[in-house]
């Protein structure tokens, strides 16, 4: 997340590569992957999905659609994988050596392959490169859980959020998807994996 970020807020990660970060106590933020990126030697450029300011080092939040790993680190850590802003690539969070529930969260399936056409984002070659959320596409209170739908009793899963949830049962599919989507763990390290399957 821009502001309180790691490694300047952006870096290239090739297939099979890994990077280790030490998060400060009390850190809260998001981690996401960008796809279809091209940067020059100065770090200026853009990505087809989840672009964050036209630079390698993010200067803004990831543009939708973006699959997000979200963390609030404290004595008890809260973490989740969110598809509320859409899907651009598979992402999973796995706690290591923690205490408590410490379940894995995420979406290992590639939703680009089953994305409804009305939510699909296509690249220059016509291939689906991302799947937008219904809120992002239709911008209604029902899909965005706002206005009269701004509480968990009224805002229920929709056709689209159910499709996301069926494919990725441990990821947030809409704003009030808390019971099956947010996880806790204490004294843990976390492995965030992109495109693991």
Inform me whether the pLDDT recorded for 43 exceeds 70: yes
pLDDT digits (tens, 9 = 90+) for 179-193: 889 999 998 899 999
Q: What is the DSSP string of 101-168?
A: S---EEE-S-GGGT--TTTEEE-TTS-EEEE--HHHHH--HHHHT-GGG-STTT----HHHHHHHHH-
Q: What is the pLDDT of residue 120?
A: 98
Instruction: Give residue 178's pLDDT band: very low, low, confident or very high (50, 70, 90).
Output: confident
Q: And the tokens for 165?
A: 């949830």
* pLDDT surpasses 80 at 197: no
In CATH, the number for domain 7-194 is: 2.60.110.10
Check pLDDT > 70 for residue 4. no
Q: Is the peptide bond before 65 cis (omega within 30 degrees of 0)?
A: yes
pLDDT at position 5 is 60
Q: Read off the pLDDT of each residue in 99-121 and give the average, rounded to a whole number.
A: 96
The residue ranges of every structural domain in the chain are 7-194
Strand order in the sheet with 183-185: 28-32, 68-72, 77-82, 183-185
Q: Is the pLDDT of residue 3 over 50?
A: no
Mean pLDDT of 10-25: 87
pLDDT at 21 (0 to 100): 85
pLDDT digits (tens, 9 = 90+) for 51-99: 999 999 998 888 999 999 999 999 999 999 999 999 999 999 999 999 9
Does the pLDDT value for residue 116 go beyond 90? yes
Between 187 and 2, name the one with better pLDDT. Answer: 187
């Amino acid at each position: 997340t821009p502001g309180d970020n790691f490694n300047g807020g952006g870096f290239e990660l090739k297939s099979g590569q890994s990077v280790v970060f030490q998060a400060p106590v009390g850190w809260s933020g998001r981690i996401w992957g960008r796809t279809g990126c091209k940067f020059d030697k100065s770090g200026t450029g853009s990505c087809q999905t989840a672009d964050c300011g036209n630079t390698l080092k993010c200067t803004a939040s990831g543009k939708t659609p973006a699959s997000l790993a979200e963390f609030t680190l404290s004595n008890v850590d809260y973490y989740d994988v969110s598809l509320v802003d859409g899907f651009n690539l598979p992402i999973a969070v796995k706690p290591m050596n923690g205490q408590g529930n410490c379940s894995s969260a995420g979406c290992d399936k590639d939703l680009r392959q089953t994305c409804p056409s009305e939510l699909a984002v296509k690249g220059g070659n016509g291939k689906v490169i991302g799947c937008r959320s219904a809120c992002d596409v239709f911008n209604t209170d029902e899909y965005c859980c706002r206005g009269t739908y701004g509480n968990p009793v009224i805002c229920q899963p929709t056709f689209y959020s159910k499709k996301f949830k069926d494919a990725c049962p441990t990821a947030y599919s809409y704003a009030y998807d808390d019971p099956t989507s947010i996880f806790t763990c204490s004294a843990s390290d976390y492995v965030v994996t992109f495109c693991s399957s």
